[in-house]
A and B are shown apart, each in its own frame.
Chain A
């Protein structure tokens, strides 16, 4: 019993959650900023810039606005970091890390991934600022738009693997990864191609990246829910966002392309896959502007929803 608890604790706090996820998330953020700068023909910040930013924020004064609900205002940034560390511990890394069955499956993971967005909404409304409230309503609209398609994607993959392994639907992440190691990645399965596209469309919206950075729109909402935060709680929010980027990409990797060698090489391959996604996100960030909230909501309810539905039907047929 103690052994399992220790294993889970180390998975959540050190590898692959906690320390590892934080380091990887901040590093990827640095790579992304550097790539965007290069795409705009700038020199760009040092690769370790997000680490410096975080260290700086931890030393600054932290304000709580008069109108804010102080307890909730200071609590919500922690929820993001904590939920994402646990989510990271749920995701298997082929040949490197297998999560304990006691931790949970895809459904828990889906719940954990929606937590930071909920926490961000709460931060926005707890801050007592009109910009925070606007950010809150936009985040909620975005969430309603992208949660549907992502659920269809997850169910398609679960159904595909479940049918192939002789059962109904399997939400067990270890089974999904093992199936792909034995039968090749689902990336190459044509019936799941629409699901992959829908997942790729989900990534920027969930991470608040352009063209879907609408809830935090810097130029119109002055960073929305983040506006009233300062010092260490702002640092925690940035940290949560960095780990979330790792978790969302890692879920994509788990669902579609977990294959990799064992040991340290496996971790390197895992990081290389993350770099691919970061490259795509940087291209997007440097290449497009911001959508309006109604355009983004319509986009998600139209295309990724359609793709997810097509994938589900194709898998079932």
Chain B
């Protein structure tokens, strides 16, 4: 079963969750980090329409009070093993929204975060580096699970 785990390393499917983000990081994720110029499909990545297909979860936004429960529900629907990446400064520390009455974050209180990609928004190169780190962790988890 070792070769199965080896193959899994080459097939990390990704899913985006917007946890109250201003959309800046989402734009970076959707249109910059994934446009032809920075093609991440060459790493085997593929955006999924459903959390149930995903392996790596990219979370943006400071986790607002309103979105917290929904975030946790969606997060629970990603099958194990999975890897979490916090994209942008908001999920890491709250960013400019820090200590606001409407913010439940930071993210690592609720879900285990594996990789932080700081920035407001992070550069595409930073997002891709974060994804590369996440893919390493994903590969180790897949091998441990096999």
Interface residues of A (CB under 8 A from B): 33, 37, 40-46, 49, 51-53, 55-56, 58-63, 218-219, 221-223, 226-231, 234
Given contacts A43-B42, A46-B44, contact A228 B8 (CB under 8 A): no
In the bound assembly, the distance between CA atoms of A43 and B81 in angstroms comes to 28
In the bound assembly, the distance between CA atoms of A53 and B13 in angstroms comes to 9
Q: Which of B105-146 contact A (CB under 8 A)?
A: 142, 145-146
Chain A nearest CB: distance from B51 CB in Å? 9
Is A227 in contact with B52, judged by CB distance below 8 angstroms?
yes
In the bound assembly, the distance between CA atoms of A221 and B55 in angstroms comes to 20
* Cβ of B99 under 8 Å from chain A: no
* Cβ of B102 under 8 Å from chain A: no
Total contacts A to B, CB within 8 angstroms?
88
Apart from A59-B8, A60-B79, 17 more pairs, CB < 8 Å: A45-B44, A46-B42, A46-B44, A49-B10, A51-B7, A52-B8, A53-B11, A53-B46, A55-B11, A56-B8, A58-B4, A223-B48, A226-B53, A227-B49, A229-B52, A234-B52, A234-B53
Given contacts A62-B79, A228-B52, contact A55 B44 (CB under 8 A): no
Chain A nearest CB: distance from B105 CB in Å? 26
Is B142 in contact with A56, judged by CB distance below 8 angstroms?
yes
* Cβ of B77 under 8 Å from chain A: yes
Is B39 in contact with A37, judged by CB distance below 8 angstroms?
yes
**Residue of A37, A53, A226, A231 with highest tally of chain B CB at under 10 A:** A53
**Residues of B contacting A44 with CB < 8 Å?**
39, 41-42
**Residues of A contacting B36 with CB < 8 Å?**
40-42
Tell me the count of chain B residues lying within 8 A, CB to CB, of chain A.
27
Is B42 in contact with A52, judged by CB distance below 8 angstroms?
no
In the bound assembly, the distance between CA atoms of A40 and B142 in angstroms comes to 31
In the bound assembly, the distance between CA atoms of A263 and B10 in angstroms comes to 35
* Cβ of B69 under 8 Å from chain A: no
- Cβ proximity bits B20-48 to A, threshold 8 Å, 1 near / 0 not: 00000000000000001001011010101
- For A219, the closest partner residue in chain B by CB is B49
Interface residues of B (CB under 8 A from A): 3-5, 7-8, 10-11, 13, 36, 39, 41-42, 44, 46, 48-50, 52-53, 55, 77, 79-81, 142, 145-146
**Residues of A contacting B39 with CB < 8 Å?**
37, 42-44
In the bound assembly, the distance between CA atoms of A254 and B76 in angstroms comes to 48
Is B49 in contact with A222, judged by CB distance below 8 angstroms?
yes
**Residues of B contacting A55 with CB < 8 Å?**
3-4, 7-8, 11
In the bound assembly, the distance between CA atoms of A41 and B81 in angstroms comes to 33
Is A49 in contact with B4, judged by CB distance below 8 angstroms?
no
**Residues of A contacting B80 with CB < 8 Å?**
60-61
Is A63 in contact with B52, judged by CB distance below 8 angstroms?
yes
